[in-house]
Structure 1
Amino acid sequence: MSADKIGFALLILAVLLFAGKWVRMHWRPAQKLFLPASILAGVIGLLLGPGVLGLLAQTVAGPETALADGIIPESMLNIWSELPGLLINVVFATLLLGVPLPNFKRVWNLAGPQLAFGLTLGAGQYVVGILIAALVLAPVFGLPLMAGALIEIGFEGGHGTAAGLQDVFADLGFPEGADMAVGMATVGVISGIVGGIILINWGVRNGKSEVLDKDVGEIPQNQQRGLIPKDNRPVPTGGMTVRSESIEPLTLHFAFVAMAILVGLGILESLTWIEKQTWGSGEDGMELLGAVPLFPLAMIGGLIVQQVLTRIDKNDLLDRETMLRIQGIALDILIAAAIASLSLAVIAANLAPFLLLGIAGIAWNVCLFLFLAPRVIPKYWFERGIGDLGQSMGVTATGLILMKIADPDNKTPAYEAFGYKQMAFEPLFGGGLITGISLPVIYNFGPWPLFGVMLALVVLGMGSGLFYFGKLKEQ
């Protein structure tokens, strides 16, 4: 693939992202659903590709029509399909860069209840998924038992994680799993936002919210359109910690990201080497760590780089806001590329299993929010729990959107508690180590060892929430 073709594919993807933003600004349903421009861009690309427009043109005008491959050719989609596996490393490397470690006691008091709730949500998605895979998907539809991990990969992990695991799915003989996971992530985001807004309205009407009341007005139009008013726009996108004549601040921060990824790569190579010298050696050796993707270890690399900079950098060169901008552009491109290159034929061929997993995942999350969150989170359970619900169905950004709607003026500790909880939760679920090893563990050992561990975590999360944090609430 030539550099010209790759560059042109990136240019077209950028145009689609602008088109997605234009749709968000001018199409009311997209505003009401708070759909990110990246998802809209991916959908536009998917509709203009051979799977939709091309198929429709062939049906109407025959296979020789000029639009037989759609406006976006297969060769461009092939380039886009490679981007998520690269950009997910950037997204996860930036998660902990610029995040100082806070006081443990404060973290425990604020994040403990939400960690118990979030742990139950995340681990339970494996429990539910593996049961469905073992009892229905494998015997009835002939799918691999690895399908039991699709709920957590798509819902907690989101588009980035789902697309980033594409090579792992292929290496383990389940290539269609990557498309199903990306589709599951799309279902999760949409159902998370729609369901979250429905639950917020329910909570306001029934007095569950301690911030909003029944007379609360409509969400501001600028917020629905995803715009910042002209007289309230911040000038910088991040703090400039160095003078641009010495090095562009964005360039410096990209170097920090690169170091984090390289540290993660070094960890992965070391683990792979150890595996090859021990249980992975010989013809009968078992590959486990070699199938683990790079991105969860890139997050560990970011934590290591952050701790080194904390000790040696006396000038505070790393700016967290700049790191968030790098993370944001990588995630936007990743999501658009992943959805646009999605195979609708794979989802159509596995529609019943796909719907079964999606409905089961949604039901699990909503039921836990309604019945467990108020019994686990000591105060402001509605405002704080809605963030965890959003994350468990549509990644972190969805949780933040729902918390912003439920607590628009930041009157509760929802954001702070959610952020602290993420520091312990992200390294494990939603693209963390457990997500990364789930597929190779099921492939090598079957589903039941992972099922047992996840069931134990569900019991731990639910038990600590009900009998420890719940008792604190009573006191």
Structure 2
Amino acid sequence: MSPNEIGFSFIIIGILLIIGKWIRVYSVKLQQLFLPSSIIAGALALLLGPEVLGSIVSQFAPESIFARGMFPAFMIDVWAELPGLFINIVFASLFLGTRLPDLQKVWIVGGPQVAMGQMVSWGQYVIGIVLVLLVLAPLFGTNPLAGALIEISFVGGHGTAAGLGETFNELGFSEGYDLSIGLATIGILSGVIIGIILINIGARTGRAKFVGGKQSFSDKGKTGIVDLDNRDASADMTTRPESIDPFSVHIAYVGLAIGVGWVLLEFFVWLEDITYGQATDVYLFEYVPLFPLAMVGGIIVQAFSQKFDRFQLIDRKTINRVSGLSLDILIVSALATISIAVIGDNLAAFLGLAIVGVVWNVLAFLYLAPKMIPSYWFERGLGDFGQATGIAATGLLLMKVADPNNETPALEGFGYKQVLFEPFVGGGLVTAAAMPLIFQFGAVPFLIGSAAMTLFWLLFGILYFGRKKTADSTS
């Protein structure tokens, strides 16, 4: 691939994002689903690419210039490499520019949601592995590694699923990439649709006492357009451009975080090799991707900046723009290169995992959240439900609808939750290591460990936090 081909591939992604944005602006149905423009753009790229348009045209006119879709082969090759690169930027940015809070406050305010989120995530491993071992593997020959796909795709989202692409290949489960991207799409759609349904039911039954419903979003809010008179600065300039552009500084800090993560990963690979690796022939870290360690690198860089940088050069708003751009590119490129044929060949596994994943998330919210979250369980549990089916943004969206004026501790608790949640599950170290662990030790030992963790967080949430119900409880 030449530099010109790579550059042109990015230009087309930009054009697709613009088209996706304007489709969302004028499509009421898509607005009601709150679908990000990047997903619309990625779906459009998939439809116009070799998997849909190319497949249809090749059946009737194999010599046509559109027999492989509207995009040249080199562009598809470039796009296929982007998710694995940009996921490192997304995860390295998670804690940069965010003042690391006191862990005691994190635990007091966000503890119930930490317990709930951990329980749901580990439970996704349990139900996924049980389904694979009892049904999918015996009847359809599904790879046991598929048992990890619900947590990877639902809690991890498109970014995590795409970032594990190389791990899927190294473990001989290449079809897992396409299945996980497809499941991530199902997760976001189900999270928004079912979440809005739950809010409406909650409003009618009195469980959702602060719900603003659709009235909490203006027409321009639904389209994703900020009113001209209400446009705040998207970032704060922490350096003067004549010395160095602020955006350049923040890109550099993200790069530093990724570099620290790479050093950590290489250290763990080396340490594993000289200790138990050679003796037992068990290797885990060589299958672990970079992005969870890039997140750890971000925490380290932020901790040093918070302690030693008296100028506080890292601005969270700017970091959000860097991360948002990277996530948009990642989602478009991941969806554009998904293989529909692979999903079709593994349709039973795809549908089975999607159904049990959604059912588990709904049941956990309706029946376990009231027992684990001592107050405002509906609003706080919605955030966990949204994150467990899609991404953190889905949880934020649902909480915004259910509690538009932030009258509950849902938003604060959800933010604190990430400090003790993201480093482990939902794209963290456990998510990255799940498939290597299943590959090395088998599905049954990992199932036992996951069941134990699910039970631990369930009982801890019920017996520790659940007993702290207050008069503010909306149960």
Shorter-chain TM-score: which interval? Answer: over 0.9
What is the alpha-carbon root mean square deviation over aligned residues? Answer: 1.4
Residue by residue over 1:314-366, the C-alpha shift from the partner in whole angstroms, topping out at 9 and shown as x without a partner, is 11111111111111100011011100110000001111110000000000000
The corresponding residue for 2:244 is 247
Residue 415 of structure 1 and its aligned partner are, at CA, apart by 1.1
Residue 300 of structure 1 and its aligned partner are, at CA, apart by 0.4
Q: Is the 8 A contact 1:96 1:299 kept in 2?
A: yes
The corresponding residue for 2:206 is 207
Distance 2:286 2:360 in 1: 32
Q: Is the 8 A contact 1:49 1:74 kept in 2?
A: no
TM-score where L is the length of structure 2:
0.97
The corresponding residue for 1:169 is 168
Are residue 131 (structure 1) and residue 130 (structure 2) matched?
A: yes
Q: Is the 8 A contact 1:207 1:213 kept in 2?
A: no
Q: Is the 8 A contact 1:50 1:73 kept in 2?
A: no
Residue 66 of structure 1 and its aligned partner are, at CA, apart by 2.5
Residue 122 of structure 1 and its aligned partner are, at CA, apart by 0.4
SS at match of 1:286: coil
Letter in structure 1 aligned against 2:227: P
The corresponding residue for 1:189 is 188
Distance 1:104 1:49 in 2: 48
Distance 2:73 2:366 in 1: 44
Residue by residue over 1:394-432, the C-alpha shift from the partner in whole angstroms, topping out at 9 and shown as x without a partner, is 011111111111111222211110010111000011110
The corresponding residue for 2:225 is 227
Are residue 40 (structure 1) and residue 36 (structure 2) matched?
A: no
Q: Is the 8 A contact 1:204 1:213 kept in 2?
A: no
Distance 1:154 1:452 in 2: 21
Task: Rate the CA distance shift 1:164–1:213 in 2: closer, same or farther, 3 A.
Answer: closer
The corresponding residue for 2:328 is 332
Residue 152 of structure 1 and its aligned partner are, at CA, apart by 0.4
Q: Is the 8 A contact 2:211 2:401 kept in 1?
A: no
The corresponding residue for 2:97 is 98
> 1:225-374 to 2 correspondence within 5 Å?
225-234=223-232, 236-281=233-278, 285-374=281-370
> 1:400-439 to 2 correspondence within 5 Å?
400-439=396-435
Q: Is the 8 A contact 2:212 2:401 kept in 1?
A: no
Residue 58 of structure 1 and its aligned partner are, at CA, apart by 2.3
Residue by residue over 1:37-67, the C-alpha shift from the partner in whole angstroms, topping out at 9 and shown as x without a partner, is 00000000000001111111123x3211231
The corresponding residue for 1:460 is 456
Q: Is the 8 A contact 1:97 1:303 kept in 2?
A: yes
Letter in structure 2 aligned against 1:23: I
Letter in structure 1 aligned against 2:246: P
The corresponding residue for 2:26 is 26
Distance 2:334 2:175 in 1: 14
Task: Rate the CA distance shift 1:248–1:474 in 2: closer, same or farther, 3 A.
Answer: closer
Q: Is the 8 A contact 1:90 1:327 kept in 2?
A: yes
Paired residues, number: 471
Residue 474 of structure 1 and its aligned partner are, at CA, apart by 5.9
Letter in structure 2 aligned against 1:317: L
Distance 2:65 2:85 in 1: 33
Residue 218 of structure 1 and its aligned partner are, at CA, apart by 6.9
The corresponding residue for 1:81 is 80
TM-score where L is the length of structure 1:
0.97
Q: Is the 8 A contact 2:212 2:403 kept in 1?
A: no
Share of identical aligned residues, percent?
50
Residue 310 of structure 1 and its aligned partner are, at CA, apart by 1.5
| Structure 1 stretches of 4+ moved >4 Å | none
- Where structure 1 has 5 or more consecutive residues not aligned to the other structure, the ranges are none
Distance 1:182 1:249 in 2: 34
- Where structure 2 has 5 or more consecutive residues not aligned to the other structure, the ranges are none
Distance 1:452 1:63 in 2: 51
Q: Is the 8 A contact 2:212 2:402 kept in 1?
A: no
The corresponding residue for 2:6 is 6
Letter in structure 2 aligned against 1:239: D
Residue by residue over 1:254-280, the C-alpha shift from the partner in whole angstroms, topping out at 9 and shown as x without a partner, is 111011000000000001111222233
SS at match of 1:372: helix
Residue by residue over 1:152-180, the C-alpha shift from the partner in whole angstroms, topping out at 9 and shown as x without a partner, is 00000010110110000000101010110
